[in-house]
Amino acid sequence: MRTLTEVAPDAVFVRTKIYSSGPVGLFCSRVLGSTIEGNAYEWAHVLVVRLDDDGRAVRHEAFPEDRWTEALALFDEWVGPSTR
Protein backbone atom coordinates (compact mmCIF):
# COMPACT_ATOMS: atom_id res chain seq x y z
CA MET A 1 0.00 0.00 0.00
CA ARG A 2 2.84 2.39 0.76
CA THR A 3 4.22 2.02 -2.75
CA LEU A 4 0.77 2.51 -4.27
CA THR A 5 0.19 5.76 -2.37
CA GLU A 6 3.66 7.02 -3.32
CA VAL A 7 3.11 6.32 -7.02
CA ALA A 8 -0.59 7.20 -7.15
CA PRO A 9 -1.58 9.36 -4.18
CA ASP A 10 -5.20 9.66 -5.33
CA ALA A 11 -5.81 5.88 -5.59
CA VAL A 12 -9.25 4.72 -4.52
CA PHE A 13 -10.64 1.21 -4.10
CA VAL A 14 -14.21 0.66 -5.23
CA ARG A 15 -15.84 -2.57 -4.09
CA THR A 16 -18.19 -3.78 -6.81
CA LYS A 17 -19.26 -7.06 -5.15
CA ILE A 18 -19.00 -8.23 -1.55
CA TYR A 19 -19.91 -11.70 -0.34
CA SER A 20 -19.32 -13.06 3.15
CA SER A 21 -20.11 -16.16 5.13
CA GLY A 22 -18.81 -16.39 8.68
CA PRO A 23 -15.10 -15.62 8.66
CA VAL A 24 -14.73 -15.81 4.87
CA GLY A 25 -15.18 -12.95 2.43
CA LEU A 26 -14.99 -12.48 -1.33
CA PHE A 27 -14.49 -8.97 -2.70
CA CYS A 28 -14.45 -7.70 -6.27
CA SER A 29 -12.63 -4.40 -6.47
CA ARG A 30 -11.56 -1.77 -8.93
CA VAL A 31 -8.60 0.46 -8.19
CA LEU A 32 -8.73 3.87 -9.85
CA GLY A 33 -6.32 6.74 -9.80
CA SER A 34 -3.51 8.56 -11.52
CA THR A 35 0.23 8.66 -11.09
CA ILE A 36 2.06 11.75 -9.92
CA GLU A 37 2.93 12.28 -13.60
CA GLY A 38 -0.79 12.42 -14.45
CA ASN A 39 -1.19 9.00 -16.10
CA ALA A 40 -4.63 7.53 -15.38
CA TYR A 41 -4.96 3.87 -14.48
CA GLU A 42 -7.57 1.32 -13.47
CA TRP A 43 -7.37 -2.35 -12.62
CA ALA A 44 -9.75 -4.94 -11.25
CA HIS A 45 -9.15 -7.91 -8.99
CA VAL A 46 -10.97 -10.44 -6.83
CA LEU A 47 -9.82 -11.18 -3.28
CA VAL A 48 -10.82 -14.11 -1.07
CA VAL A 49 -10.05 -13.57 2.63
CA ARG A 50 -10.29 -15.73 5.75
CA LEU A 51 -10.36 -14.09 9.20
CA ASP A 52 -9.41 -15.48 12.60
CA ASP A 53 -11.58 -15.23 15.72
CA ASP A 54 -10.25 -11.70 16.37
CA GLY A 55 -11.21 -10.49 12.88
CA ARG A 56 -7.65 -10.42 11.52
CA ALA A 57 -6.91 -11.71 8.03
CA VAL A 58 -5.00 -14.97 8.34
CA ARG A 59 -5.08 -15.96 4.69
CA HIS A 60 -5.94 -14.28 1.42
CA GLU A 61 -5.73 -15.12 -2.24
CA ALA A 62 -5.92 -12.56 -5.06
CA PHE A 63 -7.19 -13.31 -8.55
CA PRO A 64 -7.46 -11.29 -11.75
CA GLU A 65 -11.05 -10.41 -12.60
CA ASP A 66 -11.23 -12.99 -15.40
CA ARG A 67 -10.61 -15.83 -12.89
CA TRP A 68 -13.89 -15.18 -11.02
CA THR A 69 -14.90 -18.87 -11.19
CA GLU A 70 -11.68 -19.94 -9.42
CA ALA A 71 -12.11 -17.28 -6.74
CA LEU A 72 -15.71 -18.33 -6.14
CA ALA A 73 -14.66 -22.00 -5.89
CA LEU A 74 -12.04 -21.09 -3.27
CA PHE A 75 -14.63 -19.04 -1.35
CA ASP A 76 -16.97 -22.06 -1.36
CA GLU A 77 -14.12 -24.35 -0.24
CA TRP A 78 -13.17 -22.07 2.66
CA VAL A 79 -16.81 -21.60 3.72
CA GLY A 80 -17.31 -25.38 3.74
CA PRO A 81 -20.58 -27.29 3.69
CA SER A 82 -21.28 -26.99 7.42
CA THR A 83 -21.65 -23.18 7.38
CA ARG A 84 -23.98 -22.76 4.41
Q: What is the mean pLDDT of residues 35-52?
A: 91
**CATH number of the domain located at residue range(s) 2-83 in this protein:** 3.10.450.50
The yes-or-no verdict on residue 84 having pLDDT over 50 is: no
pTM value is: 0.76
pLDDT score of 1: 64
pLDDT, tens digit (0-9, with 9 covering 90-100), for 47-82: 999 999 999 999 999 999 999 999 999 999 999 975
Burial class (CB in 10 A: 0-12, 13-18, 19+), 32: middle
Grade residue 35 by pLDDT with cuts at 50, 70 and 90: confident
